[in-house]
């Protein structure tokens, strides 16, 4: 079997680390909860590729604190992973824009290192301690002995419009210095469980048919 060269192995490392970090953010999709059957996919978002830049798991994160909201005028977190598949040339994410928010902050001038990744939507502590990340020996950075790990950022969509709702998708444009614009249809996360609306016509759970 032919051994992988250093840039290729470094790309594999970055992808494995980034994937582990983003999957920590998402709910487990294995199995169902009795009666509610609220099953959530392991990966919530959409993907796109432009040249050597791969955008993965792009989605609006369902709020889990009072700091964030998907109501009109609110601020929500944007989750994604960007991987640079080029083993030699970095790129820069110069910004993110969408008509469904007044602005997107935290995504200005983010360097995507060669064979590296940038992750948004998880904390640095989560990325550092995520047990799903490959802990096998990693290829070293050519400039030193430190393995390349994803950069973790907080990216916020500010002043949302009223059209940002769970289950819908919104176009979000990522702009790169070298690779230009790429627009992704970004889904709005429905959260761990959708509200159950019942009426007098709703069946009684457990009732024989």
CATH classification at residue 172? 2.60.40.1890
Taking only the tens place, the pLDDT of each residue in 185-208 is 999 988 765 554 455 554 554 555
The encoded tokens of residue 84 equal 């640079």
The encoded tokens of residue 196 equal 């159950």
Question: If you count them, how many residues does the chain have?
Answer: 209
Q: What are the two backbone dihedrals, phi and then psi, of residue 91, each rounded to the nearest 5 degrees?
A: -135, 170
Instruction: Look at the chain and report how many structural domains it folds into.
Output: 1
Q: Is 192 part of a structural domain of the chain?
A: no
The DSSP secondary-structure symbol of 147 reads B
The encoded tokens of residue 32 equal 């169902």
Q: Is 206 part of a structural domain of the chain?
A: no
Q: Is 10 part of a structural domain of the chain?
A: yes
Q: Is 65 part of a structural domain of the chain?
A: yes
Q: Is 196 part of a structural domain of the chain?
A: no
Q: Is 162 part of a structural domain of the chain?
A: yes
The encoded tokens of residue 85 equal 């598949």
Q: Is 36 part of a structural domain of the chain?
A: no
Report pTM: 0.67
Taking only the tens place, the pLDDT of each residue in 126-181 is 444 444 333 333 334 445 545 567 889 999 999 999 989 998 999 999 999 999 99
Q: Is 101 part of a structural domain of the chain?
A: yes
pLDDT at 42 over 60: no
Residue pair 77/91 in contact by the 8 Å Cβ criterion: no
Question: Which structural domain range is residue 180 located in?
Answer: 6-28+44-130+145-187
The DSSP secondary-structure symbol of 22 reads H
Q: Which residues contact 203 (CB under 8 A, 6 or more apart)?
A: 209
Taking only the tens place, the pLDDT of each residue in 81-106 is 999 999 999 999 999 999 999 999 99
């Amino acid at each position: 079997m032919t051994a992988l060269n250093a840039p290729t192995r470094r790309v594999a490392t970055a992808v494995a680390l980034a994937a582990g970090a983003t999957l920590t953010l998402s709910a487990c999709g294995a199995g169902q909860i009795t009666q509610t059957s609220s099953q959530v996919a392991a990966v919530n978002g959409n993907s796109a590729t432009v040249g050597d830049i791969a955008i993965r798991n792009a989605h609006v994160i369902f709020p889990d604190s009072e700091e964030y909201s998907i109501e009109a005028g609110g601020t929500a977190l944007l989750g994604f992973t960007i991987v640079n598949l080029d083993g030699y040339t970095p790129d820069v994410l110069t910004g993110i824009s969408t008509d469904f928010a007044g602005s997107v902050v935290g995504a200005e001038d983010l360097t995507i290192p060669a064979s590296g990744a940038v992750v948004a939507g998880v904390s640095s502590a989560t990325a550092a301690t995520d047990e799903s990340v490959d802990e096998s020996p990693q290829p070293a950075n050519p400039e030193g002995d430190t393995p390349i790990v994803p950069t973790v950022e907080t990216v916020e969509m500010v002043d949302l419009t009223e059209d940002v709702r769970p289950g819908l998708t919104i176009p979000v444009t990522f702009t790169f210095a070298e690779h230009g614009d790429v627009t992704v249809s970004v889904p709005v996360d429905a959260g761990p469980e959708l509200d159950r609306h019942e009426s007098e016509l709703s069946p009684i759970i457990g009732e024989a048919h």
